Amino acid sequence: MSQYRYLTNYLKNLIPVPFELETAEEFYQIGEGPAHFHVKIKKDIPKRSLLRSTSLALGEAYMKGDLEIDGDLYDVLDTLMGEIRRFRKDSWALHGLLHTSLSRNNQEKEVTSHYDIGNDFYRLWLDETMSYSCGYFPDENRSLFDAQVGKTDHILEKLYLKPGMKLLDIGCGWGFLLKRAVEHYGVRGVGITLAKEQYRQLSEEIHGAHMEDRLEVHLMDYRDLAELDRVERDAESGHFASGNRLWNELCAGECFDRIVSVGMIEHVGRENYDEFFNCVDQVLKPGGLFLLHFISALEEHSGDPWIRKYIFPGGVIPSLREIVRLLPDVGFYTLDVESLRRHYVRTLQCWRENFLAHRYEITEKFGEKFTRMWDLYLASCAAAFHHGVVDLHQVLMSKGVNNELPMTR
């Protein structure tokens, strides 16, 4: 009996299009008609691994080079994502991977493991804005840079900013949204992040542009927002200092007019959603607006095992309905909900094009396994958004009733 028999039958039943399958023992033509791609298996994948998690077993095999694809990786994964409901996931066996600690220390480690790989790495394949979230493509010819600027303006216009307002960005990344809000809308901005590399770069840019009186960034957990009057920490040790003008105003009892959070709630954890919104409520003025931009799912689930293990440890994608259902508990009114799912497909395709253009350089620095892992991540996410496995939503809400806004978007 062939040692590859179970794996061969597994792939036959999983892949819905004709393809060629090559093992060390045999060559197979699977399905009727011309093959869409060629799969080469260099080392058998055990049955127990496939039954434990389809994505983890196949993903690890691809990372290690035990599974090779002759054809565009995105096209193959786009085919597979249409069959994702047939993927195996043994939640009991994967419990430790799918349900990690929600403590501050652990979540900080999980976040920094992804975002602190190095600014130079992200600079290779993000655009000049260093925006690591979905762009906005009104047309196919829009460049990635223009799409990221457009996304940022799309968000800021929804917030109806006025000069002198105070804007908080929870999970501010490298700070492009805040810098644009300060420069083009005349607001004063504060950003918070757990990523030390992002914090250091944004701090240097603020100082270099002499924007200290208008813009600040702090290295802090969102949970500290509920304790502004009691917290004083040191940024270099992984925490924040409270010696800045805007921060001191807040500690004196003032709050933010507007709050935005882009791609951050995915790191909060399902059990902490209530606390997250309570913290936002603590520092948002009555009538103030909060825009939440997040990857969403159609239904609630614990996440993909391969993504959880290798890309976003601890990451959980909320469903749209569970987020919207929480808002009345803190007196937030839902004003606007918009899906940008197809915009994220294009964004990820742009990122992958940039990534592959620098593949040799990335491999030289991080190794072949790391490069294959990140290529798999970018291609699989693009395919997942294309098939609606995941979505991207922007939800605009107000704290209490706000009758001062325009009546149309």
- For residue 48, give every residue at least 6 positions away whose Cβ sits within 8 Å of its Cβ, in sequence order, or none: none
Q: Which two tokens stand for residue 119?
A: 């600014």
Q: Which residue has the tokens 């929600």?
A: 102
Catalytic residue among 134, 172, 255, 381: 381
b or e along 381-390 (b: 16 or more beta carbons within 10 Å of the residue's beta carbon)? bbbbbbbebb
Task: Report residue 115: phi and psi, to 5°.
Answer: -85, -15
DSSP state for residue 45 in the 8-state scheme? P
Q: Which two tokens stand for residue 396?
A: 């605009």
Distance CA 191, CA 299 (A): 31
Look at residues 148, 111, 172, 152 and name the one whose alpha carbon lies nearest to residue 351. Answer: 148
Look at residues 385, 132, 396, 148 and name the one whose alpha carbon lies nearest to residue 267. Answer: 132
How far is the CA of 171 from the CAs of 103, 135, 153, 266, in angstroms? 17, 17, 18, 11
Euclidean distance between the first and final Cα of the chain, in Å? 64
How far is the CA of 120 from the CAs of 113, 116, 198, in angstroms? 15, 10, 11
Q: Is residue 166 helix, strand or coil?
A: strand
Any idea what the Cα angle at residue 301 is, between residues 331 and 289, rounded to 5°?
Answer: 25
Task: Report residue 294: phi and psi, to 5°.
Answer: -155, 150
Contact 177, 150 (CB under 8 A): no
Distance CA 12, CA 260 (A): 46
255 is catalytic: no
151 phi-psi bin (left φ>0, alpha ψ -120 to 50, beta other): alpha
Q: What residues are labeled active site? A: 381
